[in-house]
Amino acid sequence: MTSIVTTRRGKPIDAWRWIGRIFLVMMLFYTAVPMAWMLLTSIKSGFAAMQLPPQWLPNEPTLASYKKLLDPNNSVGQDFLRFFWNSLFVSTMTTALAVIVAVPAAYAFSRFDFPGRKFLFFAVLLRNMFPAVIFLVPLFILMRLLGLVNTHGSLILTYLTFGLPLAIWLLKGFYDNIPYQLEQAARIDGATRFQAFVLIVMPLSAPGIVATAIYSFIGAWNEYIFAYTFLNKNEQLTLPVGIQRFFSENTTDFPGLMAASFMMSLPVVVLFLLLQRYFVRALTEGAVKH
C-alpha cells in the first residue's frame, strides 16, 4: 500500500514519492560533483590545484590547460587530438557494426521459430555472466595470431563481442512488443518480408536502435583495459589510455589531467542528454511485455 501523509491543509502527500525525489537528488549530487570538481580543477593553475586545504573556487581562473590541449602546434595538443579522433573512430565503428549485427539478429530471435532458438539466445547472453577481464589473455593471444595487435581493429572486434549480447537482448524485447499483425497487413498489401521490416518494423523500433547505439558507443568510448593491453604505439592510443600521459614520475599536471578528463566525459554526457528519451523508452518498452 502507498504511504499517505496529510498536511495541515488536508492535502495528501505521497511519502514514497518524496522519498524517491530525495533519492534522485542525492544521486544527482553524487554524479554531478565529480564533473564540477573536474571543471573547477581544470581552470586552476598548477600551484592552486596542489594546495591543501583545497581551493574550492579558483581565485584566478585560467583556460591555459584547454588551450594547450586544443593547440595542434605543441606536442600535448597533437597527442590529445590524435587520441580523441582515435577514440571517436573506434567508438563510431563499434556502434555502427553493433547496430548492423544486432538488428537482424534480434529480429530473427523475435520473429522466427527455428530449432535451438532459445538455447542459442541464452548462449549469446552467457558471456555476460563472466567478467570481461578473464578474457583478456585469450583475446590478446587471438589478436596476436590474427596480426591485429596495435591496430584499432582489435578493439573494434573486442568491443563488438562484449557489446552485442546486451544489444541483441534490448532489441529482441523491443521487437516482441511490436504487433506482428502490422507486418502481416503489409504482406497482404504486397510487401515482401524485407520491405515490411524496413518500412514498418524499423521506424517503430527506432528508440530501441538508438538505445543500442548509445550503449555501444559509451562502452567503447570509456573502455580502458583492452585498449591498454592491445595498443602500445602512441599514434594508435585512445583517450582512456592516452590521458595517463599526464602522470609522470616526479609530478602530475592535475589541471591538464582534469581538463582532458572533462573533455573526454563531455561527448558522452551530451550524447546521452540529447537521446535520453529514446534510451528510457527503449528500456521500458523492451523490458515489459504487453
- Please calculate the CA angle 268-245-226 and round it to the nearest 5 degrees: 60
Indicate the pairing of strand 12-14 with strand 4-6. antiparallel
User: What is this structure's pTM?
Assistant: 0.80
Is the peptide bond between 53 and the residue preceding it cis, with omega within 30 degrees of 0? yes
Cα separation, 42 vs 168, whole angstroms: 39
The half-sphere exposure of 153 on its side-chain side, counting CA atoms within 13 A, is 8
Mean pLDDT by 10-residue block, N- to C-terminus, for the chain (290 residues)? 49 74 89 85 80 78 85 84 92 93 89 82 78 87 90 92 86 84 84 84 84 88 90 88 73 81 85 73 52
Instruction: Identify the CATH homologous superfamily for domain 65-287.
Output: MetI-like (1.10.3720.10)
Cα separation, 288 vs 212, whole angstroms: 17
pLDDT for res 242: 85
Cα separation, 78 vs 74, whole angstroms: 6
| 252 φ/ψ angles, rounded to the nearest 5 degrees | -130, 135
Cα separation, 284 vs 221, whole angstroms: 25
Q: Looking at the DSSP assignment, which residues form a beta bridge with residue 12? A: 6
Q: Looking at the DSSP assignment, which residues form a beta bridge with residue 290? A: none
- 3-state class of 14 per DSSP? strand
Which grid cell is 105?
Answer: 539478429
pLDDT for res 282: 58
Neighbours of 135 (CB within 10 A): 16
60: left (phi > 0), else alpha (psi -120 to 50), else beta? Answer: beta
